[in-house]
Structure 1
Amino acid sequence: MPLRNVEVKSRRWFTLGQARTDGNGRFSIGQGYRREAKVFVEFKTERATTRGITFGTLARPWELVLPIRHQLGSYTGSQMQGLRYHFSYQADATTKGALSWTAATLFNTVDDMYAYCAASGIPTPPANLNIMLFSRLTSSAATPMLRYLTETSLVSQMISQTLTPAGQVLKAVVQRQLPDITCRYEGNGEALLTDELDETFFHELGHSVHYRQAGNLYWTGYITLIVEAAAKRLLDNSRTSIYGRKTDNGAGLIAVSEAWGNYVGNTFAARKYDAINLNIARFNRDRLEFQTPNDDPDDDDRWIVYGMFHDMTDNTTEPPATGVTDNVNSYTTIQLYRAMQPDVMGVRKYQQRVLSQNNNRQASEMEQLVTSYRW
C-alpha cells in the first residue's frame, strides 16, 4: 500500500530538498546533489505531527519533542532516480522500525479518515493534531486533546496575559508538545498489525471530530471522568471497567462519547477493508451488529451503546441473540453526529436530540431501540 501525504526530505549539509508524496506514494524532489545526500521521511504535516517513544521509559526524552523521522538511506543524484522504499512490519515494538511502521500506518489512516469524513458529510479531525505513539508507556489509546485544550481555554489565555514575552514563548513551546491523541502500538508482546492500528486510529480520530463540536468544557468533563475511573480502579485493585461503572455519575456521557468512537472506528475500518480483506471488514461490522446489551454495570462492552449507533443507520435484520429491538433504519452518520452537542450528556438526552433535530422521525421505533439497550 503506498504511503500517502507525508514529507520526504533530502539533505547534504545546508542543501535541502523537500516533497510531499501523492495518493500513489510518489514524490519528486527537484534539488540535485553531486555527492551522497540523506533522504528521509518526516511524519509531520498540517494534519498531524507524530512523535514516539520506543521504550517503556523516558530514556530518550528528545523523542517527545522531535517528529518521527525514518531515514531511507544515503544516495547520489543518479541513485535518487526511481528511488523506492518499503516499510516492513517488525514484531518487536521496541525497535525504530516498528515505530516507523506504525507512523506510516497512521498517516495512511489519517488520509483515509479525511476521505471518509467527506463522504459521510461530517467534519474532518482538527488540523495539526499532536499524536504520540508509545510501545509501552501507556496502556491503550486515548484522545485527551491536551494541546487544543490548553491553547484554546480561557484560563490558558488569561495566564498568557500575565507572562513576560519570554514566558509566553516558553509556555507556547511546552503546550505544543502536549498530546491530543496517544496510542500504545504494542499488544500481547508484539507490535499491532495494520488492521488493528487502523481501527484504533479511526476510533481516536473519531473522538477528535466529536471534540470539534463538543468543545473544551465537555471534553474536560469527559476526560476527567475517565481519569477518575482509572484512578479508582488502581486504588481499589479491582476489575472495574476503565470507564467506571454504569451506575457512576457521568456514565451516560461516557456511553455516548465512546459509542461514537466505536461506531466511527469499526464503520470506517470496515469500509476500508471492503476492498482489501472481506473477513476483516465483516469482523468490524459484526462487532457493531452483534453487540449484546445487559445490565452488568461493570461490563462496558454491554452498556456503551456503540451498537445502537450502527442500528440507527443500518437496514438489516437484527440478530435475535442480541435481544435488541431494531426497527430504526432512516438515519445517517451526519445526523448521528449533529446530535453530539455539548449539552448531550446521556443516552436518553441523545435520543431526544436526534428526534428533535429530525422531526421526531421513527420516534416509537427509537424508543424501542434505546430501551432494548438497557437505558
Structure 2
Amino acid sequence: MIFFSCQKVEMEPIADEETPFESAGMAKTLLGKKLENPYSVTNMRKALESFRSSDPKGREAADFEIEATHYYVRLFTESDEQLLRLEKDSLYLFDYPLDYEIDSLGDYYMDPEVDPEEGKWYYTSVPVDYRFPDIQYEILEELFLLDEEDTTAANGKLASLDFLYELEEESLRLTGNLKEPEYDKGTSGEASRAKIHPQGYVRVWDTERRKLVGVEGVKVRTRRWFKYGRDYTNSLGYYRIDNRYKRDVHYTVFFENASGFKIWSSTVDISKASHHVGKHSRYDRNIDMYTDSRAWRFATVNNAAVKYRNYCGRFGIGLPPSDLRIVASDGSGGGAAPMLRRVWGFYGFTSKSKVVSFLGKVAGMPATILGNTLLRFILPDIIVKANSAQGTAAVYETAFHELAHASHYAKVGNNYWIRYINYIVTYGVYGDGTGNNAGLCALGEAWGYHMGYRLTLEEFGNTNSRVSLSAFENFDPLKTGDKNDDIRPFKPLFSYWNGWIPAGIMYDIIDTNRDWLRSGFYDDVAGYTHKDLFNALDKDVDTPQKFRDRLLKESGNLDRADLENLFEAYYWK
C-alpha cells in the first residue's frame, strides 16, 4: 500500500529516556528549531516577486516562471528489502528531517511517531517524475532546485546561471537562512564566490604504525539543504566530491565500502555505520579519526576487510561474499561469523532463540539488545568486537579470523554453515570435541585461527603487539574430551597456545621448519601452500581427517607419510 500526503508534518520532541540505541553506546541526533525552507516553490516564487517589484533583474525576472522540479519526501522502510530498493535508486537518504536546525548530529534519530522496531522514515528529495516504489511515502513540500546544466524555466524561457544564483540568494535572505558572509574570509571578488568541489583525506590512527593511514573505499557525503554530493576514497583515503558548493557544507563518512561490504555500529540500528563530521568549509577538509572517536573502530575494521581481500588475491584464497554485512561493535576481543543474511530462514535455522543463543555464546551479546530489528533489517554476516583499547593489530586479527570464516562459508554454503552454528548453540561455543559435528568445528576454527594470526604477522611484522612468530609456531596439541581445552590462544600470543582444536596444524602444513610437536612426533611436512589449504575446504570436508585426505588427493599424495604423521600428532588420525 502506498500512503500519499501533501500535508507538512510537524516534528514534536520526544521525552528523554533510555533506548536500546543508547544502551549500545550510540548518540542521538538532536534537532533544533524548524527552518523556513528557501527552496520551496512558495518561497522561491516570493523571491522572484521580490525581484520583479524592485526590478533588479529587469526582463529576465519578468519572463521567468517557477514550477516544482523536485519533491521533498520521506519514505518508510519496514524491512531490509525495502531499504535496499531505495538504495538501488541512488537516493541520498537521511534518517532525520532536512528542514530543521541540527543541535547535535548523532548516530540515529528517534522519530516521535514510530516504534524503531517497526521501521524507519528516511528523508530526501526526488525529481517530480520519480516513480515511487511500492512503499509508504509522503510528499512534504514541492521544491524548486537549480539545475546548472538546464536553465530552462517552466514556460520554456532560458535564464542565465547568474540570475538563478541571485534568485537562490534572495530566497535564502527572505527566509532568514543567509547567515554566512557572502565572501569567504581572506578572499574577495569572484574567487570568493566560486563553487568548489570539497576534497581531502579520510584517515585513521594506526596504533601499531603510530601514524595516520588512509581509510580506503569509504563514502564521503556532503549536504547543504537539498544539494548533495559524494565520492569514495581511494587507497590513500583521498576523496573529491562530485558536486560544487559556494558555502559551508555538512560532511559525513559512511562505512559502505566501494567493494561491496558494509559496516554497522551495532545490532540494534538499521543504518550503516557513519561518522558525522559536521558543517565545515567547502575547501580542503581532512577527516581524521583517532582512538577517542567511536568511528575509529569502523575505519579500522574497514581497512582490515580491505586488506583481507587483498591478501586473498595474493595467497590464492577465495573471497568472501562481496556484499558482507559487518557489525563493528564496541567490545573487547572476539567475534562471530553467523552469516545470518545467508542462512536465516533456511531449514534448520529459523528460530529467533537460536540466533540469540548463538550470538550470546560466541559474541557475548545479551538477549535484551537482539530484538526484531536484528532479524528484519541488519542480519549481520560478521561481528567484530573492535573498541580502540585493543589497538589496531588486535582488531585486525579478529577481523581476519572472521573474514576467513566468511571465505570458508562462500565455498561450502548454507547447509554446512547451519551445522556449524547448531553445533555451537548445542555444545556452548566449541564444546569438548566429542559432540556431533565436533570435527566440523575443529576444522573451521583451525582455519580461522590460523588466518587471523598469519595475516596479522603478514600485515604488521613480527614486532606487533598481538602475536609473535615463535609463539604462533609453538602449538601444543591436546586430546578431545575437555571443554576447557578447546583452544587457548593466550591473546596476545607471545609464548605458546594449545587445544584439541588443531589450530596450529595449518601453519605446520605450509611451513618448512622441522618442529617438535609432542613425544615421538615432529613436523616434517613441506610443499603445501595457502591455496592448497583453501582448495581442500570443500563442502563435503567436515572433519580434519577428511581435510587431510582431500589435501592428499588434490596434491597427488604430496609428502603423504609426513602429512599423516602430522595429523596423528594432533590426535586427528
TM over 0.5: yes
Give the whole-Å Cα distance in 2 for the aligned partners of 1:252 and 1:324: 22
Q: What RMSD in Å do the two structures reach over aligned CA positions? A: 2.6
Match of 2:383 among 177, 182, 190: 182
Secondary structure at the counterpart of residue 44 of structure 1: coil
| 1:141 correspondence with 2:335 | yes
Partner residue of 2:278? 73
Q: Provide structure 1 residue ranges, at least 5 long, that are not aligned to the other structure.
A: 91-96, 157-170, 231-241
Give the whole-Å Cα distance in 2 for the aligned partners of 1:200 and 1:139: 7
Match of 1:300 among 475, 478, 486: 486
Match of 1:118 among 299, 310, 313: 313
How far 1:74 moved relative to its partner?
A: 1.4
Matches within 5 A, 1:356-367: 356-367=553-564
Give the whole-Å Cα distance in 2 for the aligned partners of 1:307 and 1:88: 35
Secondary structure at the counterpart of residue 277 of structure 2: strand
Partner residue of 2:475? 291
Give the whole-Å Cα distance in 1 for the aligned partners of 2:348 and 2:426: 22
Q: Which moved more, 1:296-305 or 1:331-340?
A: 296-305
Matches within 5 A, 1:59-208: 61=268, 64-77=269-282, 80-81=283-284, 83-90=285-292, 97-98=293-294, 100-135=295-330, 140-150=334-344, 153=346, 176-186=377-387, 191-208=389-406
Secondary structure at the counterpart of residue 263 of structure 2: strand
Match of 1:213 among 403, 411, 430: 411
How far 1:191 moved relative to its partner?
A: 3.4
How far 1:71 moved relative to its partner?
A: 1.6
Match of 1:52 among 261, 265, 273: 265
- The residue type equivalent to 2:454 in the other structure is T
Q: Which has the larger radius of gyration?
A: 2
Partner residue of 1:11? 223
Distance 1:225 1:174, change over 3 A: closer
Give the whole-Å Cα distance in 2 for the aligned partners of 1:207 and 1:67: 22
Give the whole-Å Cα distance in 2 for the aligned partners of 1:124 and 1:224: 24
Q: Which moved more, 1:121-130 or 1:294-303?
A: 294-303
Give the whole-Å Cα distance in 2 for the aligned partners of 1:272 and 1:322: 34
How far 1:149 moved relative to its partner?
A: 1.8
Give the whole-Å Cα distance in 1 for the aligned partners of 2:457 and 2:236: 22
How far 1:349 moved relative to its partner?
A: 1.2
Distance 1:201 1:344, change over 3 A: same
Give the whole-Å Cα distance in 2 for the aligned partners of 1:352 and 1:281: 36
Give the whole-Å Cα distance in 2 for the aligned partners of 1:221 and 1:178: 18
Partner residue of 2:180? none
**8 Å Cα contact 1:326/1:365 also seen in 2:** yes
Distance 1:14 1:20, change over 3 A: same
Match of 1:317 among 501, 514, 519: 514
Q: Deviations over 1:198-234 (max 9, x none)?
A: 000000000000001111110000011011122xxxx
How far 1:37 moved relative to its partner?
A: 0.7
Give the whole-Å Cα distance in 2 for the aligned partners of 1:107 and 1:139: 17
How far 1:243 moved relative to its partner?
A: 0.5
Q: Deviations over 1:259-314 (max 9, x none)?
A: 1111111111111012xxx3128925334311111226320121111211101101
**8 Å Cα contact 1:292/1:322 also seen in 2:** no
How far 1:150 moved relative to its partner?
A: 3.4
Partner residue of 1:41? 253
- The residue type equivalent to 1:255 in the other structure is A
Give the whole-Å Cα distance in 2 for the aligned partners of 1:329 and 1:175: 48
Give the whole-Å Cα distance in 2 for the aligned partners of 1:354 and 1:195: 31
Q: Deviations over 1:20-56 (max 9, x none)?
A: 1111111111322222211111001342111113xxx
How far 1:73 moved relative to its partner?
A: 2.8
Distance 1:37 1:341, change over 3 A: same
Partner residue of 2:54? none
**8 Å Cα contact 2:442/2:501 also seen in 1:** yes
How far 1:320 moved relative to its partner?
A: 6.0
- The residue type equivalent to 1:105 in the other structure is T
Secondary structure at the counterpart of residue 279 of structure 1: coil
Match of 2:524 among 327, 330, 354: 327
How far 1:111 moved relative to its partner?
A: 1.1
- The residue type equivalent to 1:6 in the other structure is V
**8 Å Cα contact 2:513/2:524 also seen in 1:** no
Partner residue of 2:443? 256
Give the whole-Å Cα distance in 2 for the aligned partners of 1:354 and 1:321: 23
Distance 1:12 1:134, change over 3 A: same
- The residue type equivalent to 1:70 in the other structure is H
Secondary structure at the counterpart of residue 50 of structure 1: strand
Q: Provide structure 2 residue ranges, at least 5 long, that are not aligned to the other structure.
A: 1-212, 350-371, 488-498
Aligned residues: 325
Give the whole-Å Cα distance in 1 for the aligned partners of 2:262 and 2:222: 19
Secondary structure at the counterpart of residue 344 of structure 1: coil
**Higher RCO structure, 1 or 2 (CA under 8 Å, sep 6+):** 1
**8 Å Cα contact 1:293/1:323 also seen in 2:** no
- The residue type equivalent to 1:245 in the other structure is D
Give the whole-Å Cα distance in 2 for the aligned partners of 1:288 and 1:139: 18
Secondary structure at the counterpart of residue 533 of structure 2: helix
Secondary structure at the counterpart of residue 292 of structure 1: strand
Match of 1:270 among 450, 457, 465: 457
Secondary structure at the counterpart of residue 238 of structure 2: coil
